[in-house]
Amino acid sequence: MTVITRFAPSPTGHLHVGNIRAALHNWLWARKSGGQFLLRLDDTDLERSRPEYAAAIKADLAWLGLHWDGEERQSDRFALYESRFEALKASGHVYPAYETAQELDLRRKILLGRGLPPVYDRAALSLTPDQIAAHEAEGRTPHWRFRLDHDQPIAWTDLIRGDQRFDPRLLSDPVIRRADGSWLYMLPSVIDDIAMGITHVLRGEDHVSNTATQIQMFTALGAPLPQFAHEALLTGSEGKLSKRLGSLGVAHFREIGLEPAAIAALLARLGSSQPIEPFADMAPLIASFDFAHFGRAPARFDEAELATLNQKIVHLLPFEAVADRLPQGMDEAAWEAIRPNLETVAGAADWWRIVTGPIDAPAPAQDDRDFLTAAHRLLADLPFDAGIWRALTDALKGETGRKGKTLFLPLRRALTGLDHGPDMGQLLPLIGRDEALTRLRS
């Protein structure tokens, strides 16, 4: 069996961190299994779906490195849905219902007031021809429901949650088509999963009850079931569901300079028993991905943890991976010198300005002025090579008797304007003799 997974976002907005995690896990499972990862844009909501959102979704996936092997749009597949719908009508698996939204809401409130589950009572199935004619004379157009088989218990073994069982009598027959003829999520998704040959449906645990009803739709359409995996939802760092998670997306991550590899490294294992590690490429994440590692406890997403992970990954990135994002003139030696001090690649520009100047160095203390004059004199005469910092500080130590902080800090301040930063042994050769002499003289 060729494993085929899918990511099926609705292009009615931008991807958020929960969507990204679902897409990543589907991609990882397909890649580990040597299968296919498909993108399906669930754009049956023609009013809210926008081309710009569809384009943004694809751009976000591409930036994250989640390249897909095929693409479908539900808006191109209405004829297929219509034919399958007619077949279900003929077999008695779907039926029309004429209740208004207000009537249904009142019934739900009555049931809840009695302490009963708000399950649809199938009143539409007992309508007489005269009652139907009266509804239609009023101008009512039916919506359509899928008729669940109450005699067929619903069960499956979830790849994350284990054995799942639902009593169909405790579920409402789901509405699959609105009165205006537009489709709801449930049936088109099943029809597409069958047509696209989807073998694994991986999504959030908020879809568990949807899966229960969709399993009977697969059966009614004469199709084998895919395997299902429902993962725990993300929570915020405060330990509860956070509205902020719904607004965190690729645009935010790019804006603050995060690496795609950091996002993948965190989200690939978030909610699993595996350690979160700073992998700079996907290969280890693909090789280690396994549904068995995931539990049912909520997965805690922490932006601070992501930032720390990003910093560790930046420290692993070779020059070739970042060369096109570095300031003009910054070469591999400069990257190697500056990299250990970076939180993001974009931060390299700030350090490169320290190298190229000009800098705004603080005025030296009175007792450091003679020391820096000596540094200027010695630097002018020493061979300027890769060992210049060691040679300069050794010479100054011998001449002035200074050591430790009193030796190194005034030099760093005069040469960089800062009290901290990259190893001066690497930084001074990048600054160059002439610029260093100018800064010491100043």
Annotated binding site: 243
Q: What is the three-state SS of the chain?
A: CCCEEEECCCCCCCCCHHHHHHHHHHHHHHHHCCCEEEEEECCCCCCCCCHHHHHHHHHHHHHHCCCCCEEEEHHHCHHHHHHHHHHHHHCCCEEEECCCHHHHHHHHHHHHHCCCCCCCCCHHHHCCHHHHHHHHHCCCCCEEEECCCCCCCEEEEECCCEEEEECHHHCCCCEEECCCCCECCHHHHHHHHHHCCCCEEEEEHHHHHHHHHHHHHHHHCCCCCCEEEEECCEECCCCCCCHHHHCCCHHHHHHCCCCHHHHHHHHHHCCECCCCCCCCCCHHHHHHCCHHHECCCCEECCHHHHHHHHHHHHCCCCHHHHHHHCCCCCCHHHHHHHHHHCCCHHHHHHHHHHHHCCCCCCCCCHHHHHHHHHHHHHHHHCCCCCCHHHHHHHHHHHHHCCCCHHHHHHHHHHHHCCCCCCCHHHHHHHHCHHHHHHHHHC
**Residue stretches of the annotated binding site for ATP:** 243
